[in-house]
Amino acid sequence: MKVLITTDLYTTATNGVVTSVRNLSRELEEAGNEVKILTLSDTVHSHREGNIYYIHSMPLKVYPDVRMPLPRTSHSQKLLKEIIQWKPDIIHSQCEFFSFHYARRIAKRTGAPLVHTYHTQYEQYVSYVLPGRWAGDFLVRTFSRERLKKVDIIIAPTAKMKQVLEDYGVKNDIEIVPSGICLQQHQGRMTEQEREQMRQLLGIPQEHRVVLNLGRLGTEKNLDEVVRLFALQLQRQPNLTLLIVGDGPAREKLCQQAKELGISDHVIFTGMVEPDQVQKYYQLGDVFVSASTSETQGLTYIEAAANGLPLVCREDPCLEGVISQGENGYTYRSPDEFLDEMDKVLADPDWCVCAGQKSEQIASAYGREQFAQNIQAVYQAAMSGSQEA
């Protein structure tokens, strides 16, 4: 099968979309499919590197790493023509904005069915562009509904995302396919010596338990709540370090918040880490915490579970099936619930061991191999539907 994947983001950022695309393309190729990726370049030049086609672009300063294509050139047209002549059997778009236009154009020229994964709940991001929440919500709903009308099948990573799309008034066939992770990467374990060396390098006191958050530092991730609740937890248990792994536009404000709360000595910001090293940072943690309600895939939750961590996270539909209440973690709805649940986790090492084993068991269902198999089943359904039409 010839599969074309289109995405606005591929090399310019590390996030859920990029991780999902990379895992999918790798598994599709290992299953014997021929895969090409069409994305935006991080420069003003169009070029091709192996099976990846980059269309020249420029930064769009509404959100970090977002770029928009530049006007067509003979070279970019040549690259697009090459993909059209390759004649994909299926086109899988991953972003609703700029690369979606190319997906639609190539689908029209080749007759290939168009499958689209809807990754992002944009209501959480409109504050970067528009001051008024109501206007932003209206635009998101209208844009999404109209944009997706010509898509053959929509993939939602979670039941939460499917419900969001149905609430928008989207009438297409929507299939739920959870995104997968590289289980092998997250099932390996550091030695105790390696763990202690990393703790020392990061300046984590020997007697401290580590409360971990890993991901993009955007305002939509609600990390200010994590910092605020951690400050309250310190009043109960002073031997704690909050390890925040990742980077993003909210980092400066979070650093200032920690300073104002007088807890800077207990909070460590690592900045961005290489994707092939994230498992080591997960394994520095004693418990994974999150206050985000913007997740549509929850890959960091699954990765944390795969690394054997208990989780304490703000209640959200995307956690269904990932946190088994009281078995591998807890969801909370209020500050008091967070504090009580953290007390339970940090006070019972034996429970933490059992919870870590339960987390690993839960995460085992989210391998990228199964993810790719489920996606291929959607491709076959789209191709069959296209032939019948």
For residue 7 the two structure tokens come to 């995405």
As a whole number, mean pLDDT of residues 185-214 equals: 97
Instruction: Write the pLDDT tens digit of every residue in 232-244.
Output: 999 999 999 999 9
> Residue 250 in contact with residue 219, Cβ under 8 Å?
yes
Rounded CA separation 352/365 (Å): 21
Which stretch of 112-116, 123-127, 251-255 has the lowest confidence by average pLDDT? 123-127
Rounded CA separation 6/21 (Å): 9
pTM of structure: 0.86
Write down the pLDDT at residue 258: 98
Which residues does 49 contact at the CB level (< 8 Å), separation at least 6? none
Mean pLDDT of the chain: 91
Name the band, by pLDDT with cuts 50, 70 and 90, for residue 124.
low
Output the CA torsion sign for 75, 80, 84, 90: positive
Write down the pLDDT at residue 265: 97
- The partner residues of 52 in beta bridges, in order of sequence, read 37, 49
List phi, psi (to 5°) of 178: -60, 140
Residue 19 has pLDDT above 90, yes or no: no
210 C-beta neighbours (distance < 10 Å), count: 20
Name the band, by pLDDT with cuts 50, 70 and 90, for residue 121.
confident
Instruction: Write the pLDDT tens digit of every residue in 240-291.
Output: 999 999 999 999 999 999 999 999 999 999 999 998 999 999 999 999 999 9
Name the band, by pLDDT with cuts 50, 70 and 90, for residue 83.
very high
Which stretch of 167-171, 266-270, 303-307 has the lowest confidence by average pLDDT? 167-171
Write down the pLDDT at residue 386: 64
